[in-house]
Amino acid sequence: MICLSLTAPTVAEAVEVAAANAELIGAVELRLDLLDGDLSAAVREFPRRCDRELSRRHGSALPRILTVRRATDGGEFSGSEAERLELLRTGIEAGYDYVDLEEDLHGSREGEALAKAAGATGTRVIRSYHDTEGVPAALPELVRRLSQREEEIPKLAVTPRGISDLRRLLSVAPKMRKSNGILVGMGTVGIPTRLLAPRIGSFLTFCSAGNKQAAPGHLDPETLVGLYRHDMLGATTRLFGVIGNPVMHSKSPHFHNRVFAERGLDALYVPFHVDDVDEFFKLAEELPIEGVSVTIPHKAAVISHLREVDESVTATGACNTVVRGAAGGWRGVNTDVSGFLTPLQAARSVKDAAVSVVGAGGAARAVVYALAGEAARICVLNRTAERARRLAEELSASHGFHNISSAALEPENEELLRRHSDIIVQTTSVGMAPHADEDPLHWYEFSGNELVYDIIYTPEITRLLARARKAGCKTVSGSEMFRGQADEQARLFCELVSSA
Ligand code: NAP
């Protein structure tokens, strides 16, 4: 179930946000600590007003949770503890369906009085523990404490700092599921816990709408339902994802979840912010995950975990796709190679073309390998000339290519570039958002006969591509390469889902 945490400053605005999202959610949480003004009046007013408005616009009301979060737990309540407890008591009397009471209130005189009042009015207690800094060491003991009372819903909301923290958090998911509890990993590393709530058995997942997030890592309801298909997830949903650092900017979840949805597959694709590749592979066994896209900076580090490697990985020393192989181990493929070639070959023939490859990083290696295999005549130009030389020499030595030369990327080499200008492939990160006004070839004037391919995909039309188009050149954008490599990944992922 999706619970929308209301972060608006007034009851009227909070009710409006609840009503606007009512079709997507299963419950609302009033975060009283985020409201302005008279909180005592607001806590009484909200249930009536929310029920009335939702019934009018949506046909029925939604369960309401009351939370008054302290600053130490990541909230913004600034009054005294006595005032906070009084507000919670008022809320219980006002008929909220659930009230969030922190774990440390358990056993205290005031806390017990609140729990008793909740029992009398039929308000269910969510017994919560928050850690905004990390994941406590004694997690199983904490879960045991939270789950002591059968009538209460335990809620664990902590902040994994890396994949090993995320693994520890997910290791208590079965216990939380047993007590119908709520498990939340806050922050970017914890986002999979929010997306996988129905899969790991968390009673609900929280989200926020609008500009203000009620907690770090909250997504909006539309993203949870539309992109991450919350409503169709279950215990048997097959898992895929993208690993990177950073990763939340990746377009891959949009691409792959759309493919899964269009094909009616019970599979989900999730972003994993990975600080440690070894730990990720342990997590992949535990969840389990069946395939991932790999992005910067892990394309080389994953290779030592693979049992089978495609020629595209050996040749480029980089792997952007990992899937479970036939024998159970991991298999690596570099779909950047075919993803790069497919749109280029649709635009013109590569055989015997004189090609400049600008840049000599990881992506350039896949590009040069792809072009050399198609018998193009290639010159690699890079800011660091030595890196271009190494790339050319290594690929020539390992594959017997005789068609790769190299040079420094500088205006003095304009003539050399012109001699290799049937196709110009731009593979550096220069011109990528947020530095979209940069152009790595600003000193080169296009004749209009070049085919210019910029593999950057944000923005779709880089300054370099815009200039080339203006000069009359044919162009290919990085989005086309992105689609090409993602299509191939989707084929591998869907094959796995359909085969079992
Ligand atoms: P990388 O391994 O870090 O290589 C970066 C390259 O950019 C190197 O050649 C580097 O030159 C050059 N560079 C960086 N700053 C420069 C500057 N100020 N002036 C001149 N050259 C500069 O990165 P990568 O993995 O190859 O990725 C490069 C780009 O390709 C990224 O924008 C990425 O998003 C894009 N990409 C797109 C796709 C797709 O599907 N469309 C796939 C993969 C990658 P030095 O060697 O001198 O440092």
Distance CA 416, CA 406 (A): 10
> Which ligand 1 atom sits closest to the C-alpha of 486?
40
Strands (E), 179-273: 182-185, 205-208, 238-244, 267-273
Tell me what the mean pLDDT of segment 226-253 comes to.
Answer: 96
**Would you place residue 499 in the very low, low, confident or very high pLDDT band (cuts 50, 70, 90)?**
confident
- C-beta 363 within 6 A of ligand 1: yes
The pLDDT, as a whole number, for residue 265 is 97
Round to whole Å and give the CA distance between 450 and 213: 48
* Residue of 358, 383, 460 best suited for mutating to test ligand 1, as the one with most atoms within 8 Å of CB: 383
The predicted structure's pLDDT at residue 460: 96
Percent of the chain exceeding pLDDT 70 equals: 100
- The span from the CA of 121 to the CA of 16, in Å, is 27
pLDDT digits (tens, 9 = 90+) for 373-418: 999 999 999 999 999 999 999 999 999 999 999 999 999 999 999 9
- Asked if pLDDT for residue 500 goes beyond 80, the answer is no
Cα–Cα distance, 24 to 31 (Å, whole number): 19
116, 299, 470, 474: which is the annotated catalytic residue? 299
**pTM to 2 decimals?**
0.93
State pLDDT tens for residues 134-158.
999 999 999 999 999 999 999 999 9
Is the pLDDT at 492 greater than 80? The verdict is yes
The β-bridge relationship of strands 153-158 and 182-185 is: parallel
**Cα-to-centroid distance, 441 and ligand 1 (Å):** 14
Mean per-residue pLDDT of the chain: 97
- The identity of residue 394, as a single letter, is E
| 41 pLDDT more than 90 | yes
* pLDDT, tens only, 66-78: 999 999 999 999 9
Q: Is 197 strand, coil or helix?
A: helix
Phi, psi angles (nearest 5°) of residue 243:
-115, 135
Using one digit for the tens of pLDDT, what is the confidence trace for 423-458?
Answer: 999 999 999 999 999 999 999 999 999 999 999 999
Our answer to whether residue 155 is catalytic in this structure is: no
Is the pLDDT at 94 greater than 90? The verdict is yes
| Closest listed residue to residue 332, CA positions, set 357, 353, 301 | 301
Measured between alpha carbons, how far is 430 from 329 in angstroms, rounded to an integer? 37
- 425 C-beta closer than 6 A to ligand 1: no
pLDDT of residue 327: 81
Across the range 73-101, mean pLDDT stands at: 97
Above pLDDT 90, what percent of the chain? Answer: 98
Closest CA to 28 of 36, 322, 13: 13
Q: Give the per-residue pLDDT at 491.
A: 98
